Amino acid sequence: MTAIKTNQPIHLKNIKSNTFQGDEKLLEWMQQRGVECKEVDDGLTIVGKRIPTRDFEYDFTNTPDLAQAFAVMAAVSNRRLLLTGLSTLIGKETNRLLALKTELEKAGAEIAITHHSLEVQRGIRKEFLERTIFNTYNDHRMVMALSLLGLSGAPVVLDDISPVSKSFPNYFGELGRIGVVVG
């Protein structure tokens, strides 16, 4: 979020920069996209200092759960992004590659997928968001990823937000705190 919405600090409790999870890789990638990270006693504070101006390519083989948010972030910021190493996303709660392609194309983005990759070729068109209901496929990661469309400044309507309670019950409270509107 901070790579799209600059100068909006976000505090992440209980996250440290030296973890062995996807969090560490996420911090590295976000720093490449202009996000500053500062370790504090109870977690990290992150803030975007600039919107990225170049295209990116990332291998998500070891961190596939981060791919959906990155795809939406690229689509909102209208940056080309090639995500590889995604073959495991096909067999999750839904085929997450096909679901992302379908939903982002509803928002005017151009998306190409293979059995192991997703490429954002063109970003969303804000005017498409106002008249579209996005399907979340009963998948908590689809709910969280698609909600990031709200970073465009337009309201976003998701068909079902209840699956997010599986992994982040206060997710929408946190989004609202930084001004993202999702209905």
The verdict on 143 and 80 lying in the same domain is yes
Residue 103 is part of which domain span?
A: 54-177
pLDDT in tens, 36-67: 777 888 877 777 665 555 677 889 998 898 89
Q: Of 121, 174, 114, 117, nearest to 150 (Cα)? A: 174
Strands 157-158 and 133-134: parallel
pTM of the model: 0.81
Q: Please state the length of the chain.
A: 183
pLDDT, residue 2, reads 45
- Distances in whole angstroms, Cα of residue 171 to Cα of each of 115, 118, 141: 30, 25, 11
**Rounded distance between C-alpha atoms, residue 172 and residue 63, angstroms:** 23
Q: What does the radius of gyration of the chain's CA atoms come to, in whole angstroms?
A: 15
pLDDT in tens, 94-124: 999 999 999 999 999 999 999 999 999 999 9
pLDDT band at 20 (very low <50, low <70, confident <90, very high): very low
Strands 35-40 and 81-84: unpaired
Q: Tokens representing 22?
A: 């996807």
Question: Among 15, 33, 52, which residue terminates a domain?
Answer: 52
Give domain status of residue 182, yes or no. Answer: no
| Residues paired with residue 78 on neighbouring β-strands, in sequence order | none
The number of folded domains in the chain is: 2
